[in-house]
Amino acid sequence: MPERRTSRTLAVVTSRFRLGEADRVLTLLSPDRGKFKAIAKGVRKPTSRLGGGVEPFAELEVALATGRTFDIVTQVQSRRVWLGLRERLKSSAVAWYAAELVERATSEEQPEPQLYELLIHAWDLLEAGASDELVARWVELGLLDAAGHGPELDQCLDCGRAPIEGEGLRWDEAAGGIRCAVHAEGLPLSSDALRLLRALRRFPPEQLTQLRLPAGPLAEADRALRGSILLLYGHEPKSRSFLDEVMA
Ligand SMILES: [Zn+2]
Distance in Å, CA 22 to ligand 1 centroid: 59
Domain positions in the chain are 6-81, 84-247
- Answer yes or no: CATH 1.20.1440.120 is held by domain 84-247: yes
Distance in Å, CA 164 to ligand 1 centroid: 11
pLDDT at 212: 75
Distance in Å, CA 155 to ligand 1 centroid: 8
Model confidence, pTM: 0.92
- Answer yes or no: CATH 3.40.50.11690 is held by domain 6-81: no
Distance in Å, CA 183 to ligand 1 centroid: 5
Distance in Å, CA 220 to ligand 1 centroid: 20
pLDDT in tens, 200-233: 999 888 888 787 788 899 999 999 999 999 999 9
Distance in Å, CA 49 to ligand 1 centroid: 62
pLDDT in tens, 109-129: 999 999 999 999 999 999 999
Residues 6+ apart with CB under 8 A from 69: none
Asked if residues 142 and 159 have their Cβ atoms less than 8 Å apart, the reply is no
* Measured distance CA(11)–CA(247) in Å, rounded: 28
Cite the DSSP H helix spans in the chain. Answer: 83-87, 89-105, 113-127, 132-146, 191-202, 215-233, 240-247
Distance in Å, CA 169 to ligand 1 centroid: 9
Asked if residues 11 and 19 have their Cβ atoms less than 8 Å apart, the reply is no
- Confidence class for position 2, pLDDT limits 50, 70, 90: low
Distance in Å, CA 177 to ligand 1 centroid: 11
First-to-final CA distance of the chain: 57
Asked if residues 58 and 143 have their Cβ atoms less than 8 Å apart, the reply is no
Residues 6+ apart with CB under 8 A from 191: 163, 164, 165, 166, 167, 169
Distance in Å, CA 240 to ligand 1 centroid: 33
pLDDT in tens, 59-84: 999 999 998 889 999 999 999 999 99
Its sign, for the CA torsion 86, 87, 90, 91, is: negative
How wide is the angle at C-alpha 240 spanned by C-alphas 238 and 245, nearest 5°?
125
* Measured distance CA(186)–CA(177) in Å, rounded: 10
Cα–chain center distance at 105: 9
